[in-house]
Structure 1
Amino acid sequence: MLIDFNPFSSQPYFDLPFQLSNWIGLFILAGVLGWGFLKWRENPVGRSARQWGLTLFLMATTPLTLIIFNFYLPQSGALPIPNLPIEAEEPLVFLLSAIPWVMAGGMVGVAGAGLVGLASGFMLGMFVTHSLFTPLEVAGLALIYGAAVRQCYRTGFFRWLRQPFVAAVLLSLVYIPVFLLIAFLSIPGILAERLDYALAQNWMQVFAKILPLYAAGFLAQLVYWIFPLLWPRPAKLTPSPAETSLQTRFMTITLPMVLILVLVLTLADWLVAGYAARQMMEDRLGNTTRIAAESVPYFLEAGQSFILNMATSDLVNLPDDAVEDELAYNIKAVSYFHQLTLFDAAGAIRGSYPQSSFSLNDLTDEEELAIGLAIKGIRLQIYTVPPASTETGGNISFIAAILDEAGIAQGVLLGRADLKINPFTQPALTALASLGADGGEGFILDDAGQILYRTSESTALSSMDLYIDKVNDQPVFFEDFSPTGTRQLVYYQPVVGRPWAVVATMPARVAQQTSLEIAVPLLAILGLFTMLAYLMLRFSLGSVTQTLKQLGGQATRIAQGELSSAAPVTGADEIGALGKSFEQMRLSLKARLDELNKLLNVSQGVAAKLDIYDAVHPILEAALSEDAISARAVLIQGVRMDIAGDKLVTIGAGPVADQFSHLDSQVFELMRQQEVLTIQNTTRVRRISSLDHQLHPAALIGLALYHENTYYGALWIGYQKPRQFEDEEVRFLSTLAGEAAVAAANANLYASAEIGRRRLEAVLTSNPEPIMVFDDKDRLLLLNPAALQVTGLIATPTVGLPAQEVVSSAELAALLTGPIELRIATREVKLPNGNIYHASVAPVMGENQQIGKVCVMRDISHYKELDSIKSDFVATVSHDLRSPLALMRGYTTMMSMVGELNDQQKSYVAKMVHGIEDMSRLVNNLLDLGRLDSGIKLKLSQLQPGVLVEQVINQLTPQANQKKIRLAFEPPEEELPSDLTADVALIQQALINLVENAIKYTKVGGEVIVRLELQDNKLAFQVTDSGIGIAPLDLPRLFEKFYRSERREAHEQRGTGLGLAIVKSIAERHGGEVVVESQLGKGSVFTLRIPLQEHPPVKPLVGMPQNKG
């Protein structure tokens, strides 16, 4: 766990704002924060106990987030707070500090995030920053973050903004100006100092503030993805402000760019102004120090010259009482030294002026050492004496040895020069003193770096020790901090030829104030320009949006059908062009609606009226315009039933319509060849001819009446004056012509249908057999008189009643209401009067779908009697033939036992045996069919379909192998019911007949597949072969007795024509059916469907022996 700093180990306190402007800034930020809480009060925290608990929990975790995972970032160039004696602090990162209020923003709401942020900021402010601005800063960021992730706008930008990490990244960008603003408001100092401090902030400080935001945003993004229920999504998205207002959209796009531009220009202006002010300050300090530095060598050289000129043997040889007078004379004559003292060769004082009581105790250590060296023969020495703590200037000691001709020291002369009052240093001191007006200071340093002169007594004599590491033997300008924490600019100027230096310092606020004075005019102009640009954009966009609102209102009125008011926009610009377009649209739409109104009336007339005169006359009235004097329609005869011969049907409208009737036939024939005929001036274009003394129109337009490629006639309009036909007019008349064509087609269809109905009615009335017609809902449409005359057939002859209520026979009603699946369904129906009718129900098709049914009843009672007599006769004959046939077969097979037969005799015997077997098979089939037709009771037993199919396949496999036919059984995919009952013997016989037929009519190498399926609650035995197929003409009669196809391929196989009839009888006896689907050359599919009948378990009976006779 990374812990570099424990905030709770320090004393909790808040620093009060330093000055009035700080208090004002604090109250402004507090007001903005209160406004934020008020604005987002619609997202209250306390709507539920859960939210209160979550808010309190997050607030309670705030101290924990401050004591773990905190660390310092490396400091580089950070600025201390100006005017305070404290050093710049290293950036401290509390990595988890933003997690509570970021989580509150998504889980609780905006106001909840603000409260948690306020608590987090309070802890940071009390224990870390000690600033009252910190709670407001963190709470404001929390409010903004909560509003960002809880907004419900629907555009792509706001969808991304609802992502926690994206919101954190964008908030970090917003935080940068907020951080700079708070840095400006929270520190003491003048405006320039505070502005410079805010803009010169170290980016490490900013990074330390936003790094916890990134960490919290990343953690919140994981919660957003992994636990979506904890982070609510908006239930309903709303349009964003940019979507609801064009002005807002433009300002939303433009304003950020303008603000960025203004900020960049402001920063650039401040940097340029700061650089200029710094350069000016460098030049000023440099000039000042150069003036002072140039004076120092002259001062020292003059002192050396003066002291050497005074240190002569004459001075040593003077009597003691004359030494002081000589020293006084020298001081007054030169005005350089303020103290002169003469020492003898032993180092004793001989005289001093002006301090006559000068003693050895008044010497400094350096002066004592220098006197000793001078006695030893050193000619000249210079030493510095720093000023006292209460003085501004120090002394320069010049020590000169007085030598005789042999070079032996006879004495030493000490001269002290005060830098503050020396006339040779006044130019330099005056230059340095000029810095004090702006709070600057000047210093003169000796070779040891000690201050020899300072312009202010309050400056410590050791203050120059701070610059030792930053200077060398070259002039240098740099920035540093005073012991009081004030930023200051320092210029260090070495003295040429001497190891001395001149230093000038100036508070940074002077340069900052100068840069502010340079930048303010440009910033003011920039601000004014920005404000003017904003106002101009606002007002210009306002005029555009106001115009667009007017056009929107016009569009709304047009959409509501109010086409009477014109568009209010005028002008020649794009908006004016748009207004003109709206006006043209209104006029065009008004004209179009008038046309549509006419077309609607015409369409209603065409749809509601079948009489051609009533339907076409409104069309002709609509075609009449201002100049039109005649509108006529020339139609074919078929649109009317009462027109005899080859006459055309003509209809006219207009004041002189009948006067142009002689042109009808010409226009009718002309329009067969073209769709539109326009004659702008009939006197110039001779497309039509008129008889003498007959009128003709000045202009004419004709339109062909075609409907579904059928020509029904022509519609033509005559005009009083020559006319230029516009495209819109031709299009409108073409639409009218289309309506006229539809009316003609409807009238023609109605006439044809009426004629057909009358013919059908005559046919049905004359038909002696009962006929009934039903619709697709099995409701009665019509029936013929023969149906009403059949006793017991019709219960209620009311049109529209269901079939169950119309017919009295339940069996016939079941046939009528059952599905017929695009084929004819037949059934024999016995009526209450005892007659038996053959009912045939056929579908009525229309547009590839069934639209009704037709039932034809045929009385077959007489045929039933004949069939019964025939069946009795056949059964008797068949029964009587069985014994003779058995004898014939026996004796025929015994002929080979009597004696040897030749080949011809064997052939004859084989043919006789084959004929006897065919006759026996026919007799057996007739007897089986007779038993089925006699209505014997079924012998129901448990049916095992799979076992039954396998037995049939095993029985017929040798026959299939002879033709190399693949005979296979495909078990059902779904499980069949276990309790199924049927007459197993009959089902087996029917299945044998189907499979045997399939093998018989399948060529060598083919295949026969038997399948079991459940179809509509029926058990289906499906036999599929790849045989020769069945012709469509043979399908309807395929299951009739003794019916065989006339195709050559069918007659190649021997048969009686009773096998499929027996299958059909077996299926009907079980209440089922047998159907066939076949294609020539591709094979057939026979399906035997038996209804499922559940029965208590009985002893299984499988199959019955096939009768081979």
Structure 2
Amino acid sequence: MNLFNFELLQNPFFYLPFHSSGWVGWLAMVVLLLFGGISVRRSSDFQQYFKWSKFLLALAMVPLAVLLVEIRVPSLQSGAVPNLPLEMNRTGILVFAAFPIFLAAGITGAFPSLIIGLATGFFLGLFVTHDLFSIAEWGFLGLITGIALSQKYRTTFYRLLRHPLAAALVVWIIFLPLFLLISFFLIPGSLAERLDFALAQNWQYYLMRGIELGVAGLFFELLCLLLPGFWQRPTHLIPSPAEVSLQSRFILFTVPLALLLFVILILADWWVAGRAARQMMESRLQGLTRVTSESLPYFLEAGQSLIIDFAKTDLIQKPPAESQLLLIENIRAIPYFRQLVVLGKDGQWITAYPPTNAENMKFAPDEEAGIALALKGVVVQVYPISPSPGEKSAQVSFIAAIKDELGAVQGVILGRTDFETNPFTQPALSALQGVLENGGEGFILDEQGNILYQTSAATPLTAADQFIGRLEVGKGLYEDTSPTGTRLLVLVEQVTGRPWQVVTRVPASVAQQIALNIAIPTLIILLVLFGAGSVVMFGIVRVVTSSLLKLTDQAVRISHGELDHAIEGKGNDEVGRLGKAFETMRLSLKKRLEELNQLLVVSQGVAANLEISEAIQPILKAALDDECVSARIVLIQEVQLDVEGDKLVSWGAGRQAELYQHLDGQIFEQMRSHHLLSIPNTSRVRRISAVNGKPHPAALIAFGLFFETTYYGALWLAYDKPKNFTEDEVRFLNTLASEAALAAANSRLYASAEIGRRRLEAVLSSVPEPVLVFDEKDRLLLLNPAAMHIPSLISAALPGRPLQDVINSENLIKLISGSLEDRIASREIPLSSGKVFYASVAPVMGDDHQLGKVCVLRDITHYKELDTLKSEIVATVSHDLRTPLTLLRGYSTMLTMIGELNEQQHVYINKIVSTVEDMTHLVNNLLDLSRIESGIPLKIEEVDPMIVVEKIIRQYQPHASQKNIQLTYEGPADGKRVMIKADLALLQQALINLVDNAIKYTRNDGQVVVRVRAGNERLTFEVHDNGIGIAPLDLPRLFEKFYRSGRREAYEKRGSGLGLAIVKSIVERHHGRIWVDSQLGKGSTFYIELPVEQPMVISEEEIREGGATNLKK
């Protein structure tokens, strides 16, 4: 593992492609990258500063990611890439190389990821691999990774693909075809060599890319789990292509599978072809090496035998000239040795052939050692002697001791030969030369690995280090790599009886060429089959999809209501049956729509006409068809107005409708207990009795007209020929019968409603009081004649006109247009004619909402005059009573000053004084009420309601304490003080009356609370007690003058019955309202609601108006 491998920065350069096909492949990949970049450019977002900064961070990470950590792969260091310079070898895993790509892809999209990939490839190519294809390789990785992580499709597969770890795996798989192409174009050499490198030798580099992608995917997957907001997540998902198009779905599922299968078949074909070529090559090399290895022992044995035969004492004992002749004779007899040398027992030179002198004769170290051993008695020895430079064959020296009859060593004979000239090695050499036909080499090695013979002089005979420690004897054919990076196929055979080895090796390209020759036919067949299969499959899919598109277009037309285009369903396959089903559906829908159109017309006719005679005409027309001659409806008489007695009413349509009218009664009675009567042939089924002299239909069908549980009549159809009724026909006619029953029910209801309306008109016409009815939008519905006879009340008595156009009185308009909820509003309405009416407005309620309003006016002019007279009399009498009451009270109190009074007299005096005080209180109340109602102007001033209430609380606190009643006060919840415009004296009087009543009618130990609530432009006073409460029957009359409850508890308390009437008058003078909530036995709460601002002038007309009392029960 290397950390911070900055040594790479010292030598930046690029190797250009080594051949024209390399340039073509590289330029094609550049075009693909440009096209991919343009395609994904719009989907990337550089607008945000956050994304710009992350992109620049990823770009800055590229050099560090490449240089930071590299894990060396030993198997890649042991050899070189074929035909490439050593500087282009990729020998390690760059652990962090893919990190910038994933960072850019996950944050900014596919286009920035492509840029980062190109930058990574450029940096790697410039400093590490020195090839231009690194740019394309990492550019494709960046583009595919960006697309995988930034796509917005919504299916499960694409959701998983947006996870970095899953994206790394998928990108690695998709990258395989591109990686094979890059590997093919990368190296120079023949087609076979490049194919072999791409398909068989480059998998380690592909695995390295997978590890680099996997490490980055795992890191960013963990980062996404820890920091979910760091990673870009699409917010709006779109349907995937497989969801949108059937053809796209087929392509997306079959094309990758077909490509994968195609690649697997190519790899398998290449593997099979390579294996066959390897076996062929192994078999051929084994034959050659076996012949060579088996021939060499005969060469050695013959040499040893001959040298022993030549070792005669005559060579020592005779003169050198004669010894030389013997040598010549031996060499010519058997031309095995190319030189023979004879030495004496002291190693001195004796003779040699071919002739030479002792000064020119040089012995190799092994020969000198062998001569020494031979002089010591070793019989025979064999020594291979390294050849001279430029020679193909080594020299083999045979040394034998020359002994006499006694076995004493008299000298040494040395025979020299070589593999090229020796006749005994020619079979072996001929076999070894057969390797040259395959472009290979053959070697004969000794036990030290020295080359004794080679078939080519290109390899130096002294380069023994290339074989030392690398030969694998008995393994068969195996692979090796030359120092130049060329792959070799090597076969080693041990020489029998000697530690020599026969080595044959051929370039792997030879086997690759053989494999290519074997694989090309299969590859062509695969390509043809793949192309033909693709065309056929796409044609089939095209046919299917085009048929489905036609069906889709037809379905769209059907959905738009276009049912006139016929669908051609060709064939009996699934698509053909689907087309026929669509055609059947179209016809059925067309028929159904025609029926629905008829039913719509029928429904519209039924809904638009309440007269039964008009409503049933569409039904009769819809029931008629080409076979039907009569369609009739017979109904009860209640469905039509102005029909007396129990006479049936009937209508008919059709060319023979009147001929079968005499059967209406029979069918009407038959259908009382039946919903359906179907007679396909009346001559066979006699359910309807024939009438003499009257025609009889051949078939008929009848439906009972029932609405809910009421029988209204029958709809029946007659045919002049027998007919079997289908289910669709029965269903359609039954629907028409339901519409007829509905029309009959509506007509009956309309008739009943019309009768009721006429009765209501008669009743309203006879009522002497004016009555007006309005709808929920205050538009006039009706009014009786009494309303028309009131002068200055009605301006336009037209139904449907707004309230403001109908009535002249503004007060009455306000009363009617006001909110009623569930109560009755009333008010005195003075008219310009001088008359006064008491108007009551009540809501007309439906189930849960208001339908309208009814206004009833009652003439109270006479009663108002009497009330005014009464008020004047009461005021006069009350005023005249004050003086005698004052004198009576004064003299009663003075009686105790005249003299002593007994106890009985004191009781009488106290009763007189108490009665006088009650009468005085009554008179004062009457006078107050008279002043209030007389229209005396109010003294409006700004009043603090909290101060008023606090003053009253202090005033009545002693009175409350006598009964142990808790008298308290609660201000506004927000504590804010609100001022109000009012008559201070009257306001105090109203509140005093309510507080006094509350204390009076509350039992001991009770509670009285006075609250002030501030609202929007309104102020509310609440006087709450938990006293005896008010009975529901007393609530409506509670504010009337002199009214007192009939309950015993109320009579036990002294009072005049004017207090609440005075309060009501004061509140109404202030344009307010008063109401009460009470529960018997639990207490009461009185509410006074006043406006914060008062109008400056109050007219007498408003003073005379009676306010609407809102009583909440």
Deviation at 1:493, TM superposition (A): 3.0
In the alignment, structure 1 residue 436 sits paired with structure 2 residue 424: no
Specify every segment of 5 or more residues in structure 1 that has no aligned partner in the other structure, as ranges.
1097-1109
* Greater displacement, 119-128 / 78-87: 119-128
* Greater displacement, 842-851 / 1087-1096: 1087-1096
Deviation at 1:465, TM superposition (A): 1.1
- Other-structure match for 1:865: 865
In the alignment, structure 1 residue 815 sits paired with structure 2 residue 815: yes
- Structure 2 CA distance for aligned equivalents of residues 425 and 953 of structure 1: 146
1:203 partner amino acid: Q
Cα distance change on mapping 1:396 and 1:1023 into 2, 3 Å: farther
Cα distance change on mapping 1:1073 and 1:683 into 2, 3 Å: farther
Decide whether the 8 Å contact of 1:82 with 1:486 is kept in 2. yes
1:868 partner amino acid: T
- Other-structure match for 2:1109: none
Decide whether the 8 Å contact of 1:73 with 1:208 is kept in 2. no
Cα distance change on mapping 1:1022 and 1:168 into 2, 3 Å: farther
- Structure 2 CA distance for aligned equivalents of residues 231 and 202 of structure 1: 33
- Structure 1 CA distance for aligned equivalents of residues 686 and 1020 of structure 2: 78
- Other-structure match for 2:737: 737
- Structure 1 CA distance for aligned equivalents of residues 420 and 1005 of structure 2: 138
- Structure 2 CA distance for aligned equivalents of residues 893 and 220 of structure 1: 111
Q: Deviations over 1:549-584 (max 9, x none)?
A: 332333344344443442212222212221221121
* Greater displacement, 676-685 / 261-270: 676-685
Q: Deviations over 1:618-640 (max 9, x none)?
A: 21222123333332223333332
In the alignment, structure 1 residue 520 sits paired with structure 2 residue 520: yes
2:204 partner amino acid: W
Decide whether the 8 Å contact of 1:793 with 1:831 is kept in 2. yes
Cα distance change on mapping 1:283 and 1:998 into 2, 3 Å: farther
Q: Secondary structure at the residue paired with 1:378? A: coil
- Structure 2 CA distance for aligned equivalents of residues 772 and 620 of structure 1: 43
Decide whether the 8 Å contact of 1:699 with 1:722 is kept in 2. yes
Deviation at 1:185, TM superposition (A): 1.2
Cα distance change on mapping 1:1039 and 1:223 into 2, 3 Å: same
2:91 partner amino acid: E
Decide whether the 8 Å contact of 1:188 with 1:194 is kept in 2. yes
- Other-structure match for 1:207: 208
1:1092 partner amino acid: V
- Other-structure match for 1:74: 72
1:422 partner amino acid: N
Cα distance change on mapping 1:619 and 1:419 into 2, 3 Å: same
* Greater displacement, 174-183 / 680-689: 680-689
In the alignment, structure 1 residue 544 sits paired with structure 2 residue 510: no
- Structure 1 CA distance for aligned equivalents of residues 593 and 455 of structure 2: 97
- Structure 2 CA distance for aligned equivalents of residues 789 and 648 of structure 1: 45
- Structure 1 CA distance for aligned equivalents of residues 173 and 853 of structure 2: 80
Decide whether the 8 Å contact of 2:568 with 2:579 is kept in 1. yes
- Structure 2 CA distance for aligned equivalents of residues 1032 and 691 of structure 1: 72
Cα distance change on mapping 1:474 and 1:1090 into 2, 3 Å: same
* Greater displacement, 359-368 / 115-124: 115-124
- Structure 2 CA distance for aligned equivalents of residues 537 and 961 of structure 1: 105
1:580 partner amino acid: K
* Greater displacement, 532-541 / 719-728: 719-728
Deviation at 1:250, TM superposition (A): 1.1
Alignment of 1:608-687 (within 5 A): 608-682=608-682, 687=687
Q: Secondary structure at the residue paired with 1:73? A: strand
Cα distance change on mapping 1:502 and 1:950 into 2, 3 Å: farther
In the alignment, structure 1 residue 275 sits paired with structure 2 residue 275: yes
Deviation at 1:363, TM superposition (A): 0.7
- Structure 2 CA distance for aligned equivalents of residues 606 and 251 of structure 1: 57
In the alignment, structure 1 residue 248 sits paired with structure 2 residue 269: no
1:201 partner amino acid: N
Deviation at 1:48, TM superposition (A): 12
* Greater displacement, 831-840 / 682-691: 682-691
Deviation at 1:348, TM superposition (A): 0.5
Cα distance change on mapping 1:162 and 1:988 into 2, 3 Å: farther
* Greater displacement, 408-417 / 113-122: 113-122
Q: Deviations over 1:625-680 (max 9, x none)?
A: 33333322233333322112233332222334344444434444554444434344
1:10 partner amino acid: N
Q: Deviations over 1:770-822 (max 9, x none)?
A: 33333333333443333333333334545544433433333222222221222
* Greater displacement, 460-469 / 57-66: 57-66
Q: Deviations over 1:11-35 (max 9, x none)?
A: 54542x3334334434544554566
Q: Secondary structure at the residue paired with 1:184? A: helix
Cα distance change on mapping 1:417 and 1:243 into 2, 3 Å: same
Decide whether the 8 Å contact of 2:489 with 2:506 is kept in 1. yes
Cα distance change on mapping 1:60 and 1:1087 into 2, 3 Å: closer
Q: TM-score, normalised by structure 1?
A: 0.84
2:794 partner amino acid: I
Cα distance change on mapping 1:942 and 1:474 into 2, 3 Å: same
1:537 partner amino acid: M
- Structure 1 CA distance for aligned equivalents of residues 264 and 211 of structure 2: 21
Decide whether the 8 Å contact of 2:892 with 2:913 is kept in 1. yes
Q: Deviations over 1:309-338 (max 9, x none)?
A: 333445433333322222233333444332
Deviation at 1:259, TM superposition (A): 0.7
- Structure 2 CA distance for aligned equivalents of residues 966 and 160 of structure 1: 75
2:208 partner amino acid: F
Deviation at 1:278, TM superposition (A): 3.1
Specify every segment of 5 or more residues in structure 2 that has no aligned partner in the other structure, as ranges.
1097-1113
Q: Deviations over 1:832-886 (max 9, x none)?
A: 2222221212222334322322222212121122223334445566673865996
- Structure 2 CA distance for aligned equivalents of residues 533 and 864 of structure 1: 109
Q: Secondary structure at the residue paired with 1:77? A: helix
Cα distance change on mapping 1:96 and 1:396 into 2, 3 Å: closer
Decide whether the 8 Å contact of 2:98 with 2:212 is kept in 1. no
1:831 partner amino acid: L
Decide whether the 8 Å contact of 2:101 with 2:145 is kept in 1. no
- Structure 1 CA distance for aligned equivalents of residues 997 and 676 of structure 2: 66
Decide whether the 8 Å contact of 1:72 with 1:90 is kept in 2. no
Alignment of 1:505-584 (within 5 A): 505-584=505-584
Cα distance change on mapping 1:655 and 1:20 into 2, 3 Å: closer
- Other-structure match for 2:5: 4
Decide whether the 8 Å contact of 2:166 with 2:217 is kept in 1. no
Decide whether the 8 Å contact of 2:840 with 2:855 is kept in 1. yes
Q: Secondary structure at the residue paired with 2:718? A: strand
Cα distance change on mapping 1:173 and 1:989 into 2, 3 Å: farther
- Structure 1 CA distance for aligned equivalents of residues 704 and 893 of structure 2: 88
- Structure 1 CA distance for aligned equivalents of residues 944 and 240 of structure 2: 73
- Structure 2 CA distance for aligned equivalents of residues 333 and 1003 of structure 1: 165
- Structure 2 CA distance for aligned equivalents of residues 1052 and 572 of structure 1: 104
In the alignment, structure 1 residue 198 sits paired with structure 2 residue 198: yes
2:73 partner amino acid: Q
- Other-structure match for 2:426: 426
Cα distance change on mapping 1:614 and 1:255 into 2, 3 Å: same
* Greater displacement, 252-261 / 1064-1073: 1064-1073
- Structure 2 CA distance for aligned equivalents of residues 968 and 730 of structure 1: 80
- Structure 2 CA distance for aligned equivalents of residues 646 and 32 of structure 1: 93
Deviation at 1:981, TM superposition (A): 2.8
* Greater displacement, 449-458 / 309-318: 309-318
Give me the identity figure in percent.
49
Q: Secondary structure at the residue paired with 2:616? A: helix
Q: RMSD in angstroms over aligned alpha carbons?
A: 5.0
Deviation at 1:139, TM superposition (A): 5.5
- Other-structure match for 2:376: 376
Decide whether the 8 Å contact of 1:999 with 1:1008 is kept in 2. yes
Q: Deviations over 1:106-165 (max 9, x none)?
A: 86995x987887677666555554434455555666666777788787877678878999
Decide whether the 8 Å contact of 2:825 with 2:840 is kept in 1. yes
- Other-structure match for 1:288: 288
- Structure 2 CA distance for aligned equivalents of residues 300 and 1088 of structure 1: 143
- Other-structure match for 2:459: 459
- Other-structure match for 2:1066: 1066
Q: Secondary structure at the residue paired with 2:838? A: strand
- Structure 2 CA distance for aligned equivalents of residues 129 and 775 of structure 1: 93
1:90 partner amino acid: T
Cα distance change on mapping 1:793 and 1:642 into 2, 3 Å: same
- Other-structure match for 2:831: 831
